Amino acid sequence: MEGWFIGVDVGTGSARAGVFDGRGTLHASAKREIAMHRPSGEIAEQSSAQIWEAVCDAVAEAVGASEIDPGAVRGLGFDATCSLVVAGDLPGGVGDEAHPERDIIVWMDHRAKDQAARINAGDHGVLAYVGGRISPEMETPKLLWLKENRPQVYAAASHFFDLTDFLTWKATGSEARSICTVTCKWTYLAHEQRWDDAYFRSVGLGDLAAAEFARIGTRIVEPGTRLGDGLLPEAARAMGLRAGTPVAAGLIDAHAGGVGTVAAAGDPVDAVGYVFGTSSCTMTTTAKPAFVPGVWGPYYSAMVPGMWLNEGGQSVAGAAIDHLISLHPAHDAAEAEARAARMSLPEWLAERARDAAAAAVRAAHLHVVPEFLGNRAPFADPQARAVIMGQGIETDLDSLVVLYVAGLCGLGYGLRQIVETQTAHGAPVRRIAISGGAGRHPLIRQLLADATGLPVDAAECDEPVLLGAAMLGAVAADAYPDLRSTMTAMSRVAQTFEPATGELRALHDARYRAFVTLQDTARQIRAQMP
């Protein structure tokens, strides 16, 4: 397939761009950091202007590094975190009146916990499509918080965008929203092609319904749909591309990781996409809707057009590991050694752990339930917190390695719990398709296979989230007939990590039972406290 396709991924801490050929091979990439204002554990804000500048700079650098003719770029696709962008001439920021540039409530922001609890107390039919309980990470609780706490900002907003849709709007001027974003995070009922008017009125957002949802989206399209007349001249200049280059309706970042991986080994129904980054997301595709308590969805056409999607995950994953190892007395010494070796600390710890089987045995009596920011799935419990059991007074580097391995195992057991819950409710899988920057090391992939009892497929492309975004650009350019065929043509498995057997499998089974026991006990204790 001739021509080039660009994928843009905006994560929690950076904007990245990659240049791909028609077979899905990455030829060049670039990255720009993005800032976050986080005065407390519950508050997280960003600037859409800074993110857009970072996106344009990353694309321009990637195109330059690839040494391709910019006129040969046939399509551009975006993915981003599911953060809420408040667009318009605002009198102040989403939190601080003195900082109007902070116009994004980041996905991980939990300021809307009370609003989410009030919404969940109502008998709303749309909640059946978010696992029975809405999360404070979703957009309607955040909108309600904004209306109640920053009414002037709420009133002044011309549009409320998911970050992905904001980026495509900046690129093309199109106000179309992706089915992915509004179905997964805004309660749009894609299978019925409508917003639920009664829901918005009953939760306190009736003004949006009264305006026929103009501020949150009246044109909803499938991911990969070509938007407007392509790239606007101003955006094209900033990116170093040709004006009019086709731009696709986008995806949430985790869903782009799913698109970039779940069809690499064959039928996307067989694989759960596990996107392992700051947080983690699980993407499970089904032919028919599966209603799984505590797991978001079922969402129609939110990832693979014409299929249903269940979305679970962990509120913190890579961030949980970072926080966990920061608690150890040897953290600073290890970080210095990692810097000297030009590695991230988790990567340095993984290298030091070496063998997954031996590492798991060494961590046999240290148990971690890494729910530092709640349980996203399968309990939809934002109040849950982490449990560490078996920690001694050791202060050496080897004990830090053991703690690191125990934390990774805890993430694996949480993933196993999600898979088992989904299987019990009609959404089984046979394998795990991994993506995300926090899950690249072979030790991590093997530990996840051993902890879950499922094979873990590593994609040939080292940047499957960027690849998923580039696939959208290929669809918008009509390079392939549809997204499903694009997924098959542009992704391949490079290596499969098979799960443990024998005594090692028995060890992980026992540790998983301990994980569940500790998790249950923590909930019981919390319920007993005044």
Ordered domains of the chain (ranges, CATH): 4-251 (3.30.420.40), 266-460+500-530 (3.30.420.40)
The whole-number pLDDT of residue 380 equals: 86
The b/e string for 78-94 (b: 16+ C-beta within 10 A; e otherwise) is: bbbbbbbbbbeebebbb
- Cα–Cα distance between 322 and 438 in angstroms, integer? 10
Helix, strand or coil for residue 387?
strand
Is there a contact between 226 and 472 (Cβ–Cβ < 8 Å)? no
H or E segment at 351? helix 345-353
* Phi, psi for 77 (deg, rounded to 5): -130, 150
Q: In the chain, what is the straight-line distance between the N-terminal and C-terminal CA atoms, in Å?
A: 64
Q: Of the candidates 450, 252, 456, which has an alpha carbon nearest to the alpha carbon of residue 361? A: 450
Whole-angstrom Cα distance, residue 288 to residue 273?
18
Burial 130-161 (b: 16+ CB within 10 A, else e): bbebbbbbbbbbbbbbbbeebeebbebbebbb
Q: Is 101 exposed, middle or buried (0-12, 13-18, 19+ CB in 10 A)?
A: middle
Note the pTM of the prediction, 2 decimals.
Answer: 0.90
Spatial contact of 454 and 509, defined as CB atoms under 8 Å apart? no
Which residues are CB-contacts of 169 (< 8 A; sequence separation ≥ 6)?
A: 87, 159, 161, 175
DSSP string computed for 488-508:
HHH--EEEEEPPP-HHHHHHH
C-alpha distances in angstroms, 229 versus 174, 218, 523? 9, 19, 53
Nearest-10 crossing angle of helices 442-452, 502-528: 80
Q: Which H helix or E strand runs over 416?
A: helix 397-424
CA–CA separation, 47 vs 63, rounded Å? Answer: 25
3-state helix, strand, coil in the chain (%, to 5): 40, 20, 40
Tens-level pLDDT at each residue, the chain (530 residues): 678 999 999 999 999 999 999 999 999 999 999 999 999 889 999 999 999 999 999 999 999 999 999 999 999 999 999 999 999 999 999 999 999 999 999 999 999 999 999 999 998 999 999 988 999 999 999 999 999 999 999 999 999 999 999 999 999 999 999 999 999 999 999 999 999 999 999 999 999 999 999 999 999 999 999 999 999 999 999 999 999 999 999 999 989 999 999 999 888 999 999 999 888 999 999 999 999 998 999 999 999 999 999 999 998 999 999 999 999 999 999 999 999 999 999 999 999 998 999 999 999 999 999 999 999 999 989 899 999 999 999 999 999 999 999 999 999 999 999 999 999 999 999 999 998 888 999 999 999 999 999 999 999 998 999 999 999 999 999 999 999 999 999 999 999 999 999 999 999 999 999 999 999 999 999 999 99
Q: How many whole angstroms separate alpha carbon 430 and alpha carbon 28?
A: 33
pLDDT at 1: 62
Please give the pLDDT value at position 344. Answer: 96
Contacts of 424 (CB under 8 A, 6+ apart): none
